[in-house]
Amino acid sequence: MEMISFEQAFDIVMSTGFRTGPETISYTDSLNRILAGDIASDMDLPPFNKSSVDGFACRKSDLGNDLEILETIPAGNWPSKSVGTNQCSRIMTGAPVPDGADCVIMVEETEMLPAGLLRFRSSFKKENIAKKGEDVRKGDLVLRAGKIIRPQDIAVMASVGQISVTVSKMPCVAVISSGSELVEPDKIPGLSQIRNSNSSQLMAQIERAGASGKYYGIAADDEAQTLSIVEKAISENDMVLLTGGVSMGDFDFVPSVLERAGVKILFTRIAVQPGKPTTFGLHSKSVIFGLPGNPVSSFIQFEMLVRPLLSKMMGCEWRPLNIFMPMNDKFVRRFADRMALIPVKITDDASVLPVEYHGSAHISALPEADGIISMPVGKKIFEKGEVVSVRPI
């Protein structure tokens, strides 16, 4: 199968139509989920004319005069008197402004006179009243479907009484590591073995992407064994992620196993560095990625291809944050036949520094990185000071 550009691969991945359905959960459990229905306000906000300071509610036209104090209005209480000429009521922040008053003067700007009267000792600046409905009107849309729910969205749900919310179901994602050299992290590897770091990395990436991961263990480099794990994973999940076994080695069975499992393979090579052997296919029940075995490649291809698709499956528009920053130094590469994805650090002076990185197996390079930059096909040099786009990771 021919090698395609990263942009083509991205378009193929994103054009798969699969979409998870909705479910209703408590708003307090909705952090990081994708909102699946619009939310409107059930009331005006603020619900009444509200004092935004501690002070005295009175009439602007009386500010030069000595004012009689009628009552004290704590937050959570309704005023019992309306304010007339040369009158005022002591009022606390958040309390309803009494009828008749058109401003609240701050305590700090007043003076108490011996006879229990009050005098304004400043010049008028503003009314200090948050008007009923000035933030939100009853029925206004306050949160739109398709957004990732953050703490500030949960506050909005709380204020409009939306205590149960409709979110997209989390895609179920299977993780399988393939390779006869792998042992689980709690084991001491034998002479020719290494610890499996991809599975736990992918499970964490899946969780961060707002999906639900399920680990299926290590498949040895054996076609029959890999096929049976893959078939089970496909039947139980919306997406299957395999790592390893996609290169050109004698025991790289993953593409042929996928075909035997009934997967229609759409690509097996992307002109990207790292991550060239990334494989993608469709099954009637789920979508399948064969990610490279190298942990850095697997990490980066998840961020660049898998994560956008997971977002789309949940009805969320993929809008990654891109930060534009200058290169801290000149960066040169020898070959430009593939798009390079380069892990970078953001320095304290807001410039971009590629992390020291010896290739796609250099796993300890990634914790240093704050983001990924991409260098297009055909480009070999980023000059010092050249502005690049950083995708935070």
Find out whether the peptide bond into 46 is cis, omega within 30 degrees of 0.
yes
Residue 244 is a binding residue for Mg ion (CB under 5 A): yes
> Would you count residue 295 as binding ligand AMP (CB under 6 A)?
yes
Q: How far is the CB of 353 from ligand AMP (least distance, A)?
A: 26
Task: Tell me how far, at minimum, the Cβ of 198 lies from ligand AMP, in Å.
Answer: 3
Judged by beta carbon, residue 40 or residue 203, the one nearer ligand AMP is 203
Which run of H or of E encompasses 332?
strand 331-332
User: Using a CB cutoff of 8 Å and minimum separation of 24, what contacts does 42-45 make?
Assistant: 42/138, 42/160, 42/161, 42/162, 43/138, 43/160, 43/161, 44/132, 44/133, 44/136, 44/137, 44/138, 45/133, 45/135, 45/136, 45/159, 45/160
**Secondary structure of residue 143 in the 3-state scheme:** strand
Asked if residues 12 and 267 have their Cβ atoms less than 8 Å apart, the reply is yes
Residue number, 132 or 214, with CB nearest to ligand AMP = 214
Q: Answer yes or no whether residue 249 interacts with ligand AMP by CB under 6 A.
A: yes
Residues 6 or more apart whose CB falls under 8 angstroms from that of 211 comprise 170, 171, 172, 173, 239, 310, 313, 314
Q: Does 182 bind ligand AMP (CB under 6 A)?
A: yes
Which H or E run contains 323?
strand 323-326
Instruction: Determine the residue with CB nearest ligand AMP.
Output: 293
**Smaller CB separation from ligand AMP, 89 or 360:** 360
Judging by DSSP bridges, how do beta strands 172-178 and 212-219 pair with one another?
A: parallel
Q: Which does 281 bind (CB under 5 to 8 A by kind): ligand AMP, Mg ion, none?
A: none
Residue with structure tokens 């660049």? 304
Instruction: Give the residue with the Cβ less far from ligand AMP, 292 or 354.
Output: 292
Rounded to the nearest whole angstrom, what is the least distance from the CB of residue 180 to ligand AMP in the complex?
9
* Residue 286 engages ligand AMP in binding (rule: CB under 6 A): no
* 196 part of the interface to ligand AMP, by CB under 6 A: yes
120 vs 253, which CB is nearer to Mg ion? 253
Measured from the CB atom, the residue of 129 and 206 that comes closer to ligand AMP is 206
Nearest-approach distance from CB 361 to ligand AMP, in angstroms: 6
Query: 99, 93, 98, 88: which is closest to 128 by C-alpha?
Result: 93
Tell me which residues in 346-385 interact with ligand AMP (CB under 6 A). Answer: 361
CB of 194 to ligand AMP, least distance (A): 5
Query: For residues 293 and 354, which CB has a smaller minimum distance to Mg ion in the complex?
Result: 293
DSSP 39-94: EE-SS-BSSS-EESSSEEEE-GGGTTS-EEEEEEE-TT---SS---TTEEEEE-TT
Q: Is 343 in the site for Mg ion (CB under 5 A)?
A: no
x-marked contacts with ligand AMP along 250-269 as a string, rule CB under 6 A = --x-----------------
Q: Between 128 and 279, name the residue whose CB sits nearer to ligand AMP.
A: 279
> How many CB atoms lie under 10 A from the CB of residue 52?
16
Residues recorded for the chain: 393
* Pairwise CA distance, residues 377 & 6, whole Å: 10
Residues 152-181 that bind Mg ion (CB under 5 A): 179
Q: Which residues bind ligand AMP (CB under 6 A)?
A: 177, 179, 181-182, 194, 196-199, 243-247, 249, 252, 292-295, 361
Note the residues at the interface with Mg ion (CB under 5 A).
179, 244-245, 293
